[in-house]
Structure 1
Amino acid sequence: MGGADGRLPHLGARLDEYGEGPAVRALEERCAGLLGKPAALFFHKGVVAQQAALLAHGERTGRTTVALHPKSHIALDEEDAIERLTPLRLRRTGPDHRPFNAAELAAVREPLAAVSVELPLRRAAFQGNGWEELGAISGWCRERAVPLHLDGARLWEVQPWLGRPLADIAGLADTVYVSFYKGLGGLGGCVLAGPVDLIEATRAWRTRFGGNLYTAFPLVVTALDGIERHLPRMGAYHEHAKALAVALAGVDGLRVNPGVPHGNSFQLLWDAPADRLETVLRRLAGDEGIWLAGRVGATPVPGWSSTEVSVGDATLAWDLRDVADLCARVLQAARTA
């Protein structure tokens, strides 16, 4: 990270205190500009940022039901936080294997406080809604005065696939959340962007959820660094992910999902049991110092397992053929373990 001397360029800024300071202000203004929104607010966690956004939308609409995908992070990975801690209730729509579309959203008949779209949808192999489909969902929401929220945890990463400026993508929604510790490589944190009055309304929820940190300086300066260093490279990461997917699809016993990645990440399916694959991967990490994949998941197909592939600077340093050969070796070892 950082410049030629290894230092982060914003380290000399005064520390922020309780969300106020030059570095955090610079980060919020930078993100608001990139996303084409009037205001942005730093949060330490996306879980808190998105609950705050949806609560603010619910307060304005006087409704409590939020439509979202059943495999979205809010619905699947937060221990039911939003329904345990707030009056909001979730209306899951769409199939497990892909994002929902406008027609499936239109089948929801109950009054909605908001619609949340995770873009891309990690648990469905990092697939995103295409530009036309996003426009249709946005149009449906606006015709009915239903706020649209974008869960953009990986919005930076999917922008090259959509082929539109970040501000155009964010402009389809009323609010958008973006993360700093995934493709941007920051230590953590995120911002929520949207209209000034709504973003101001989320400040109180940030405090209520314990998110008004005494200082977030390490998170803020690494986020600023990530925007400068990694955001301009998202196109290169996407192109490499597409080329890597082609190389891996050529290995017998491997499948890539989706066939053409929508961002810098995709799902890799292995014709080997999850427990055996995990054992081989951990042995590879310990013996050779190569971290090929993290979580290994079972699939509905008996004997097959899945991992995630994410392309960043470290991946760019690997030859595509070498990665394919390594995966073939790991697969063979897992099959015979």
Structure 2
Amino acid sequence: MPATPASNAELRAACIRVLSLHRPLGPRAWFERLAASPYAALGIDQYGQGEAVQLLEQRIASLLGKPAAVFVPKGTVAQMAALRVHTDRRLTRTVALHPLSHIDLDEDGAAERLHHLTLLRVGSPTGPFTRADLEAIHERLGALVIELPLRRAGFQLPEWTELVGLHAWAAERGVPVHLDGARLWSSAPGYGRDLAEIAALGDSVYVSLYKDVGGLGGCVLAGEEAFINEVRPWLARHGSLLYRSFPQVVSGLDGLDRHLPRVASYVSRARSLAARLAEVDGLRIRPGVPHTSGFQVLLDGDPERLWDAARALAADQGVWLVNDVRATAVPGVSMVEVQMGDAAEDFTDEEVAGLFAALLRQGGSGPVGAGNQR
């Protein structure tokens, strides 16, 4: 009988090199890293209280320039709790967000089904919404959500002056702004501004502990002290006050030490790699100059054929080039995401360009055409 094809997880685990994010670690390597961390010597936590948890919360509150912060084991819970508090305070459940918002697309309807929020989708799928888009809203809002960067639109950021204008629009109407900043870490060098300056434009800010900074998981929600105190009961109601959280917390602190000082270099690498890939026939880059550490690559070809070619590359050469291949709204054009971390240091830009060219030869159907897309 023929051998059963390896699963995607098995193929990836067997690869010698991975392009996106950080170099993957197995369970034993994670245990060794956690045990070697100086933060492992801190007192163990219990139900969200403990030395390491408090250190993490204080550190991120300081980085974001906020009075208070709380560790949450899952981003979905942090954002639902934040929106629930904002909308309860405003006595209206209507929340404005982008139609490509992570909250809308990736959380299985949590905002609507658990908290009965009314999602008002604002803007077009080509990029972040603008103040002009908000001016078309003529109803009372409980909150405005701004995702930085907007992952589904190619990790794009609004122009800085536009972002300031969005904040001003909300402030004029007393609408609280929630920053969905899972990747805020790479938005700061993208803007050329520090984290606190960006976070000042949000009444609440959510940041991930594994996106960009490479922890095991979890996140932190920051804001005013009274706001964070109102959030805490909702964390318990969501079942998110874990008995022990120290693996996520210690890995988060370690990730801040290990990767945060290097995030600007990941953004620079994204831009150099994107420029080289733009020279490959059959590829386009979105946005043409990456705003953060991530960007999209558009390829001419069927996504299933391209994915088969990517799996073959992984099996033959031990290289995990892309995490998946997705269809786009344009027939015959597929899309992959590339996100820079320390794993990309195992490749040169020239080598990655050659690998994508090989992917197109094996699974594509000719060039997309010249030029980039901003």
The one-letter amino acid paired with 1:213 is: L
Q: Which structure 1 residue ranges, 4+ long, deviate > 4 Å from structure 2? A: 1-6
The residue correspondences of 1:8-157 to structure 2 (distance < 5 A) are: 8-157=37-186
Aligned to 1:324: 353
Kindly state the Cα deviation for residue 9 of structure 1 after the two structures are TM-superposed.
2.1
Greater displacement, 327-336 / 89-98: 327-336
Kindly state the Cα deviation for residue 27 of structure 1 after the two structures are TM-superposed.
0.2
Match for residue 203 of structure 1 among 232, 240, 243? 232
The one-letter amino acid paired with 2:209 is: F
Aligned to 2:296: 267
Paired residues of 1:237 and 1:316 also in contact (CA < 8 A): no
Kindly state the Cα deviation for residue 272 of structure 1 after the two structures are TM-superposed.
1.4
Aligned to 2:278: 249
Kindly state the Cα deviation for residue 287 of structure 1 after the two structures are TM-superposed.
2.1
SS in 2 for 1:255: strand
Match for residue 217 of structure 2 among 178, 185, 188? 188
Aligned to 2:205: 176
SS in 2 for 1:267: strand
**TM-score normalised per structure 2:** 0.88
SS in 2 for 1:178: strand
Kindly state the Cα deviation for residue 63 of structure 1 after the two structures are TM-superposed.
1.1
SS in 2 for 1:329: helix
Identity %: 51
Aligned-pair Cα RMSD in Å: 1.6
Question: Any gaps of 5 or more consecutive residues in structure 2?
Answer: 1-29, 367-374
The one-letter amino acid paired with 1:52 is: A
Question: Which structure exhibits the higher relative contact order, with contacts defined as CA atoms closer than 8 Å and separated by 6 or more residues?
Answer: 2
For these two proteins, the number of residue pairs brought into alignment is 337
Paired residues of 2:286 and 2:297 also in contact (CA < 8 A): yes
Kindly state the Cα deviation for residue 78 of structure 1 after the two structures are TM-superposed.
1.0
SS in 2 for 1:326: helix
Kindly state the Cα deviation for residue 49 of structure 1 after the two structures are TM-superposed.
0.3
- Partner Cα distance (1:133, 1:146) in 2: 17
SS in 1 for 2:69: strand
Paired residues of 1:2 and 1:225 also in contact (CA < 8 A): no
Aligned to 2:258: 229
Paired residues of 2:148 and 2:183 also in contact (CA < 8 A): yes
Inter-CA distance 17–235: structure 2 relative to 1 (3 Å threshold) = same
Aligned to 1:308: 337
Paired residues of 2:98 and 2:122 also in contact (CA < 8 A): yes
**TM-score normalised per structure 1:** 0.97
Inter-CA distance 16–198: structure 2 relative to 1 (3 Å threshold) = same
SS in 2 for 1:32: helix
Kindly state the Cα deviation for residue 3 of structure 1 after the two structures are TM-superposed.
11
SS in 2 for 1:275: helix
